[in-house]
Structure 1
């Protein structure tokens, strides 16, 4: 009897795996292709902005255009990632298919004219809207559409960063603080892996990061201590700083959005004001390196994520704060794009600065900041630890975990996603 029950259970599992592979494949193909298009367009407009710096002065007008595009065709699509997450928590009106072209177009406009934004939000919204559309076309049940929306998040995230394992776990972890939904584990992994393959098949190449530092035991005479304990202490200290910077970013962005809506009574003037402030700040900072994605810079000696891994680069003590302010204003005042790549910039440059202050390896601490600030702002420490492994290798995985987990706790319960539910408090 038990043997028969066991066999039937395994057959059911095999059937569900096959079924979800079939359901998820079209999502992965569509999302991977759209993300590839998005990344290609992003590179094109970034090059255009570098060649024609006067485009920055069009940012206020670009803000008006973005506002009216959403006013005319967006409806609920303006709620972005939060709408996708809310539909997973509690299915309602669904995620509109128009969200994908709207967010893709408006993110490209934001980057063309110099807004400081990222790409994760766009990829996740593309994934969610396409998954919702495909689910409806297939006539799936609300519960199946809920899982399919999670695979859309995984596909978008995995494809846009070239980190399929991180994408799968991120989709499970980001929905609620303190819990993970394992019912979508395999579908999310399938979607993320396939979407990344499809995106790469279109000829998209992701940025390569490397950490050359080789860790050694601090006390070589004690054979069972394989860590540099002094370095580990520095990692913990920096993890606290990374978590606090995550809290600062999320709080500042939400406050800017709230106050802009409260004090600027004409809605389309909000992005206009934001665009003007960004222009002014660019002149005060004396550089345009804090505009756009920030992965690389127009000049070889500019400030960027890649530069943060070099101890001799032009990254300064306040580079992280400049990028934090630029991005909080851009996204808080109505422009479109993601938060994650700017969080990479904030973390990497803060890690660079702290490493110089503490006498620690710059490339390692830039990498730690890269993932830990993201972990604190999104409350996804496990996904971010895995991202460290996928981007930088396994040599420093314990330092990755310590930095991400510490940042997770010290960021408090603030986060960049208002729809993220609090299921288990970080401290009782």
Structure 2
């Protein structure tokens, strides 16, 4: 019996390797092109700062591109998550080129957005296209889409293990679908290798060596208790920052929709707000990704890893810029801005708590992301992949604490609650008790946006 079981396992592994390989290669190549174009667009704006004044016009272009050609692509990452959970309208092939183009437009004219949304949608769109070509059934199509998410995410950040776990964990709170583990890991690794083969390099981050007194809990587990307490305090703040970010995107979108009845004027208003905020600040530090410095001394994600590399309220300004950009219809993603928010907030908290700056910037980098996406496992591994395994315990503490304190909110409205984070909410408890009779809990988190 075991012999036949292992034969079946080998057969399935070979099958998925063959199916995933072309998807990962094409996704990795598309991500490489996207990252190159994005870098060109951002640095072109650095040299032509007047492009910011055209941001409202760019918003109109993006609106009509989706209105004329988008079909159901407007749903973005949520469409892919919905399709994995339950087959619906399908993912159109136009999603990949459309999100790539509109993300470049957003960054070229100074919108504050990310790049993970683009990468995930490129991977999902390509995976869906191959799924149709291969005539896969619904179950295999779900696995294929999960692999597409992994390929896109792993390739865009250079974190293949994180990409695989993220694709499995992001679909629902409290549940991971392990049937897609191997395809997701294969796709993420191959896509990441493909990006590297095209000569695209990712930003390197580094935690400085931290001299501190270590108090031993046991002979086998050396842990600095005071440092852990500081990490927990900071992680609570990271979780609340995630909660604020998720809520603001939702609330700003609702407010703009009510105040501005003409839909194409919403991105115009959003663009004008970003221009006004930039004049209030007197610099362009909070535009676009926030990775490369526009001028010496600019506040960026890398600068936040050094003392004095961020202002006290940098994290809040970036939150306002990004939520306004995304809520008004510009494209890109949320994750890189969340990295910025987390790293700058970590920088600020390190001063208040008398803690290592680079370590707390790194903790904020991954923990705010963990809280906003409800993916603490993936973010813990992201910390290990980006910063090394020396502080893996602290990464886990920060990510899981932030995950709890972000509540049942998140940036992906299609994400569902399978197992609640806690039993304290009467509304969650009632849903959980009723669902137990049916054997599952399947509630969209969008119902809990910005609720305490």
Would you say same fold, with TM above 0.5? Answer: yes
Partner of 1:189: 185
Kindly state the Cα deviation for residue 263 of structure 1 after the two structures are TM-superposed: 2.2
2:426 counterpart of 1:395: no
> CA distance change for structure 1 residues 216 and 223 in 2, over 3 Å: closer, same or farther?
farther
Kindly state the Cα deviation for residue 261 of structure 1 after the two structures are TM-superposed: 1.7
Q: Distance in 2 between matches of 1:234 and 1:401?
A: 14
The range that moved more, 413-422 or 216-225, is: 216-225
Kindly state the Cα deviation for residue 88 of structure 1 after the two structures are TM-superposed: 0.4
Q: Distance in 1 between matches of 2:213 and 2:380?
A: 22
Secondary structure at the residue paired with 2:25? helix
Task: Summarize the alignment of residues 327-346 of structure 1 with structure 2, pairs less than 5 Å apart.
Answer: 327-346=322-341
Secondary structure at the residue paired with 1:427? coil
TM-score, length of structure 1 as denominator length: 0.97
Secondary structure at the residue paired with 1:254? helix
Number of aligned residue pairs: 423
Q: Which runs of 5+ in 2 are unaligned?
A: 424-452
Alignment check: 8 A CA contact 1:167 1:192 kept: yes
Task: Summarize the alignment of residues 4-403 of structure 1 with structure 2, pairs less than 5 Å apart.
Answer: 5-214=1-210, 216-219=212-215, 223-313=219-309, 315-403=310-398
Kindly state the Cα deviation for residue 32 of structure 1 after the two structures are TM-superposed: 0.2
Alignment check: 8 A CA contact 1:242 1:347 kept: yes
Alignment check: 8 A CA contact 2:373 2:411 kept: yes
Q: Distance in 2 between matches of 1:354 and 1:335?
A: 31
Q: Distance in 1 between matches of 2:257 and 2:131?
A: 35
Alignment check: 8 A CA contact 2:29 2:195 kept: yes
Q: Distance in 2 between matches of 1:426 and 1:407?
A: 12
**Per-residue deviation, residues 150-179 of structure 1 (Å, max 9, x unmatched):** 000000000000000000000000000011
Kindly state the Cα deviation for residue 295 of structure 1 after the two structures are TM-superposed: 1.0
Kindly state the Cα deviation for residue 262 of structure 1 after the two structures are TM-superposed: 2.2
CA-based RMSD of the aligned residues comes to: 1.1
Kindly state the Cα deviation for residue 391 of structure 1 after the two structures are TM-superposed: 0.1
Q: Distance in 2 between matches of 1:168 and 1:296?
A: 27
Alignment check: 8 A CA contact 2:210 2:356 kept: no
**Per-residue deviation, residues 190-227 of structure 1 (Å, max 9, x unmatched):** 00000000011000000000101336553369745511
Alignment check: 8 A CA contact 2:91 2:128 kept: yes
TM-score, length of structure 2 as denominator length: 0.92
Q: Distance in 1 between matches of 2:240 and 2:319?
A: 12
Q: Distance in 1 between matches of 2:213 and 2:92?
A: 54
Partner of 1:407: 402
Kindly state the Cα deviation for residue 258 of structure 1 after the two structures are TM-superposed: 1.6
The range that moved more, 151-160 or 298-307, is: 298-307
Secondary structure at the residue paired with 1:75? coil
Q: Distance in 1 between matches of 2:118 and 2:145?
A: 15
Q: Which runs of 5+ in 1 are unaligned?
A: none
Q: Distance in 1 between matches of 2:263 and 2:97?
A: 22
Q: Distance in 2 between matches of 1:59 and 1:379?
A: 31
Kindly state the Cα deviation for residue 312 of structure 1 after the two structures are TM-superposed: 3.3
2:422 counterpart of 1:422: no
Kindly state the Cα deviation for residue 257 of structure 1 after the two structures are TM-superposed: 1.0
